[in-house]
Amino acid sequence: MIHRLSARLADDREIIYFDESPDETRILVDPRDLPKVESTSTVRYDQLTGEWVGIAGHRQTRIYHPPANQCPLCPSTAENQSEIPSPEYDVVVFENRFPSLSGSGSPAEVKELFTVAPGNGRCEVVCFTSDHNATFSHLTPERVGTVIEAWADRTVELSRQPGIEQVFCFENRGAEIGVTLAHPHGQIYGYPYVTPHTAAMLRQVEKHREASGRNLFGDLIDAEIADGSRIVAQNEHWVAFVPFAGRWPVEVQVFPRTRVPDIPALSTQQRLALAPIYLEVLRRMEGVFADTLPAISAWHQAPVSQGREDFWLHLQIFTIRREVGKLKYLAGSESAMGAFVNDIPPEVAAQRLRDAS
């Protein structure tokens, strides 16, 4: 059983400890003298694409590649008073000091040609371990289980916040991806709108339902299992495969075999079975290239108030590594036109993953 303890940092941001033992003692008082976080975030509506764009100029001053002995995500010491006051922790979540979105209120609405709305929402940091030199792939299954419980807890809480339309749990990994803090951590965004990628999936799901009466996600999962050429790993409750139209050099999607809309809806059995396959996929990806693995792990959850009856929770893990010493850059076709070109056929990527130790 995970033990949850909430407190406040010196500037009134919330911090939550998720402990694996009831006997742990945490220091809750933050001794730092911090000014209250002042967010200037707004969202602007792009009439040409029908998408919202966040504007957060205050993030230019966020912490950038500090030395290890000044890491803000390590437990606090006498020499380094970090974001976590306690000298040790299992998993901890706290409000981002430099949030892309902040505040609560009504969802963003399009009102005129140049629509600007408050950048309401919430941005949180999830520290997976107090070990500065660890990676998610080398956590124990038990620790991954604690992280899953933290994601579920935060998804429920953020979904209740006025104005939040979608909750996104994710991890950016590696300097090549743009990570500015080396400590193993992820983030959670509560958006004041449904994100473009999710909106596109919802349109396709609705179209398929109208045409066939079936769930598009379910049909795709069944087809991937029947084909088999892109399956990477599976167990009783989960299946992992390289998608047929994968955009990234190595990309894996991990689906529960039984549909649920989001992480909180996972059963105890699904949660227990998730950690081993999650770790297996990450370790196989690390084994494909004898190089670093700049990667993104992204949880696709149903929006708070739409599409929940058909949306199928899934995890997407992909790397921009296309070869040793080479990265895939989003150049003209991808960045300007949104038209991806993948250098590695998905079937080849799947075979490499199966061959990786």
Predicted local confidence at residue 177, as pLDDT: 96
Minimum mean pLDDT among 44-48, 109-113, 177-181: which range?
109-113
How confident is residue 161, by pLDDT bands cut at 50, 70 and 90? very high
Asked whether residue 259 carries a pLDDT value surpassing 90, the answer given is yes
**Does the annotation flag 183 for ligand binding?**
yes
Is 58 a known active-site residue? no
Predicted local confidence at residue 37, as pLDDT: 87
Predicted local confidence at residue 304, as pLDDT: 98
Predicted local confidence at residue 287, as pLDDT: 97
**Tens of pLDDT along 166-213?**
999 999 999 999 999 999 999 999 999 999 999 999 999 999 999 999
Asked whether residue 84 carries a pLDDT value surpassing 80, the answer given is yes
How confident is residue 107, by pLDDT bands cut at 50, 70 and 90? confident
Arithmetic mean of pLDDT over the chain: 96
**Does the annotation flag 132 for ligand binding?**
yes
Specify the pTM.
0.97
Predicted local confidence at residue 108, as pLDDT: 82
Catalytic pick among 185, 208, 237, 314: 185
pLDDT higher at 228 or 60: 228
**Tens of pLDDT along 223-249?**
999 999 999 999 999 999 999 999 999
How confident is residue 23, by pLDDT bands cut at 50, 70 and 90? confident
In order of their start, the domains of the chain are: 3-192 (3.30.428.10), 198-355 (3.30.428.10)
**Tens of pLDDT along 279-326?**
999 999 999 999 999 999 999 999 999 999 999 999 999 999 999 999
Q: Using H for helix, E for strand and C for coil, what is the string for the chain?
A: CCEEEEEECCCCCEEEEEECCCCCCCCCCCCCCCCCCCCCCEEEEECCCCEEEEECHHHHHCCCCCCHHHCCCCECCCCCCCCECCCCCCEEEEECCCCCCCECCCCCCCCCCCCEEECCEEEEEEECCCCCCCCHHHCCHHHHHHHHHHHHHHHHHHHCCCCCCEEEEEEEECHHHCCCCCCCEEEEEEECCCCHHHHHHHHHHHHHHHHHCCCHHHHHHHHHHHHCCCEEEECCCEEEECCCCCCCCEEEEEEECCCCCCHHHCCHHHHHHHHHHHHHHHHHHHHHCCCCCCEEEEEECCCCCCCCCCCCCEEEEEECEEECCEECCCCHHHHHHCCCCCCCCHHHHHHHHHHCC
Asked whether residue 82 carries a pLDDT value surpassing 90, the answer given is yes
Asked whether residue 357 carries a pLDDT value surpassing 80, the answer given is no
Asked whether residue 38 carries a pLDDT value surpassing 90, the answer given is no
Q: pLDDT above 70 covers what percent of the chain?
A: 100
